[in-house]
Amino acid sequence: MGRTPELTYDRGTLLLHPPPRGKAWIDFATWDDRVEKFRFPALHYRALVGALQRDRAVFNDRAPDFPTADLMPVAVREPFVHQREALAAWEQSGRRGVVVLPTGAGKTYFAQLAMQAAGCSTMVVVPTIDLLHQWYAQLEATYPGADIGALGGGACDRAPILVATYDSAAIHAESLGNRYGLLVCDECHHLPTEFYRVVAEYAIAPYRLGLTATPERSDNAHRDLDTLLGPMLYRKSAAELSGTTLAAHDIVRISVELSAAERERYDAAIACRNGFLREAKISLGSLKGWQRFVQIGARSAAGRRAMLAHREARELALGTDGKLHVLGELLARHYPERTLIFTNDNATVYRIAQEFLIPAITHQTPVKERHAILQAFQAGVYPTIATSRVLNEGVDVPDARIAIVLSGTSSTREYVQRLGRILRKGSSDRKLALLYELIAADTSEERIAARRRATYDTPQQLPISPLKPVAVDAASGDRSRLRVAEAKGTYKAEPEFTSES
């Protein structure tokens, strides 16, 4: 009688030897001359075992090394309707797939419901150290009797419940791949990259869950999530949950005119850039066009002038003085509401911090200082924070009601993430969150703003006193700025504006 075939895990792959009877398993197999055995991608573990079982093949499955996980929550709370619906969809899909929910909609608690339903060892993968700490703390609080570990930021555990960064999980993917029955990828739009995808490819986890607010990627690699984690099962937007799970919100778009001096410089810069583009027969309507502009622009003095002109026009549109004037009016109107100010670059953040006496957080801000600022913001000591992009994702930002976007990229993901920072209901069920977009009129920023909103719901008109387009002449010397650090009694007048939607 022949030896019983064995399925084993080997450094991110599977080995099946000797070959079993039947043919279904051959579809997954590759012959490896080095070991003279059939090798299989670990990603196909579930499908391979299913095929062997349907063929009634006799084999010993020694691939899994799943430790026992104790997932008894210390308290049970009633899930929201969308969490119950998402969990039902995940169960019906064989516990594989991607769930898309906006920031503040309870993705972490939904993941805990999925973990309890699966009842097995689990690895949660997150993009940042901040998120690792947040997940670890929440899981420890929810499952006090569980053995919970961390991988990343100096920690190197191998616990039955493991929270790991994408970087660390990818580095250790070959040794972790057969340890976890459930793989949870938070912010799973990070997964389909050449480096991170091995987290899913080297794992045999039969159960998989992807969580994100914005799955789409500009390189279309989000299509690979179907193979890596499973199909998109459930999706809710911030607009759909507004007023129920999330705070009701509105979006106000304010068109800001360039000053006469800024307009003259902007038009001259655009003319210089466009003249070079026409001569070089380059169109900026695609990624290839931009790449060609960069390549050809570096080869001549005219090209370098065109590149500098493009940069100058962009900086004028994103950082016009008129925006700072409107910012001052908005801060006065909403003082002392917790307010987040977002820009596209650090220079503008520091300019705002200096002119309005507002704490700033950028990627250069030390960890302890950032923590102290966020703590003071939560306590109400600082009513306002200015930041570039570091608070977009992966940071637990205290509850705020107002967001003011002075500039940003064309990324819908960035737009949704910034909106999500003000959508948590907090202590009030009647909270109305407001997001202001300040857009330089008749500039390229109008097209950038339109692209980032292309897949987002059309906002409703906000019933506030009108906001008129504002022009501030830099040459006039008017540098009057309202300081948000001043006493509350300073602000009495209600500015009159006209909003554009």
The residue with tokens 């090394």 is 65
| Rounded CA separation 24/29 (Å) | 10
| Rounded CA separation 416/326 (Å) | 23
Q: Are 136 and 150 in contact (CB under 8 A)?
A: yes
Same domain, 178 and 297: no
Same domain, 286 and 427: no
| 212 located within any domain | yes
Each residue of 57-103: pLDDT tens digit?
Answer: 999 999 999 999 988 998 888 999 999 999 999 999 999 999 999 88
Same domain, 365 and 274: no
Helix (H, G, I), strand (E, B) or coil at 340: strand
What confidence score (pLDDT) does residue 94 get? 96
The enclosing domain of 133 has a CATH number of: 3.40.50.300
Q: Which of 99, 92, 68, 48 is nearest to 181 (CA)?
A: 68
| Rounded CA separation 293/289 (Å) | 6
Same domain, 112 and 146: yes
Same domain, 327 and 437: yes
CB-CB neighbours of 335 under 10 Å: 18
| 495 located within any domain | no
| 499 located within any domain | no
Which sign does the torsion angle of CA 149, 225, 88, 413 carry?
Answer: positive
Q: Which domain holds residue 50?
A: 6-61
| 459 located within any domain | yes
The secondary structure of 355-379 as a DSSP string is HHT--EE-TTS-HHHHHHHHHHHHH
| Rounded CA separation 462/262 (Å) | 30
The enclosing domain of 43 has a CATH number of: 3.40.1170.30
| 75 located within any domain | no
The secondary structure of 120-180 as a DSSP string is S-EEEEESSHHHHHHHHHHHHHH-TTS-EEEEETTEE---SEEEEEHHHHHHTHHHHTTS-
Residue that wins the pLDDT comparison between 378 and 122: 122
Q: Which residues of 363-399 are buried (b: 16+ CB within 10 A; e: fewer)?
A: eebeeeebeebbeebeeeebbbbbbbbbbbbbbebbb
Helical spans, DSSP H, in 23-80: 45-54
Each residue of 22-47: pLDDT tens digit?
Answer: 888 888 999 999 999 999 999 999 99
Helix (H, G, I), strand (E, B) or coil at 178: coil
- Give me the mean pLDDT over the 363-378 stretch: 86
Same domain, 224 and 205: yes
| Domain boundary pick from 202, 236, 270 | 236
Each residue of 166-214: pLDDT tens digit?
Answer: 999 999 999 999 999 999 999 999 999 999 999 999 999 999 999 998 8
Residue that wins the pLDDT comparison between 24 and 226: 226
Q: Across 158-172, 311-325, 375-389, 429-443, which has the greatest mean pLDDT?
A: 158-172
What confidence score (pLDDT) does residue 417 get? 73
* Tally of domains in the chain: 4
Same domain, 150 and 188: yes
Taking all residues of the chain, what is their mean pLDDT, rounded to a whole number? Answer: 84
What confidence score (pLDDT) does residue 10 get? 95
| Rounded CA separation 192/198 (Å) | 9
| 433 located within any domain | yes
Same domain, 178 and 267: no
What confidence score (pLDDT) does residue 290 get? 82
Give yes or no for residue 484 having a pLDDT over 90. no
What helix, strand, coil percent values describe the chain, rounded to 5? 40, 20, 40
Same domain, 184 and 134: yes
The band of 163, judged by pLDDT with boundaries at 50, 70 and 90, is very high
8-17, 56-65, 360-369, 385-394: least confidently modelled range: 385-394
- For 457, the token pair is 């719901």
| 73 located within any domain | no
- Looking at the chain, how many residues does it have? 501
Same domain, 291 and 363: no
The secondary structure of 95-136 as a DSSP string is SEEEEE--TTS-HHHHHHHHHHHH-S-EEEEESSHHHHHHHH
Amino acid at position 222, single letter: H
Give yes or no for residue 247 having a pLDDT over 80. no
| Rounded CA separation 81/342 (Å) | 32
Amino acid at position 166, single letter: Y
| Rounded CA separation 429/247 (Å) | 7
| Rounded CA separation 73/64 (Å) | 25
| Rounded CA separation 282/274 (Å) | 9
Residue that wins the pLDDT comparison between 457 and 121: 121
The band of 233, judged by pLDDT with boundaries at 50, 70 and 90, is very high
Same domain, 457 and 337: yes
Q: Are 345 and 409 in contact (CB under 8 A)?
A: no
Each residue of 144-157: pLDDT tens digit?
Answer: 989 999 999 899 99
Q: Compute the C-alpha angle 319/325/329, nearest 5°.
A: 135
Helix (H, G, I), strand (E, B) or coil at 459: coil
Q: Across 35-49, 70-84, 297-311, 455-469, which has the greatest mean pLDDT?
A: 35-49
What confidence score (pLDDT) does residue 458 get? 41
Q: Which of 310, 268, 263, 256 is nearest to 475 (CA)?
A: 263
Same domain, 297 and 331: no
What confidence score (pLDDT) does residue 500 get? 29
Q: Compute the C-alpha angle 82/85/86, nearest 5°.
A: 85
- For 343, the token pair is 């820009």
| 71 located within any domain | no
What confidence score (pLDDT) does residue 426 get? 60
The band of 465, judged by pLDDT with boundaries at 50, 70 and 90, is very low
The secondary structure of 249-275 as a DSSP string is EEEEEEEEPPPHHHHHHHHHHHHHHHH
| Rounded CA separation 17/74 (Å) | 45
**Strands, E assignment, 169-317:** 182-186, 207-212, 232-235, 248-256
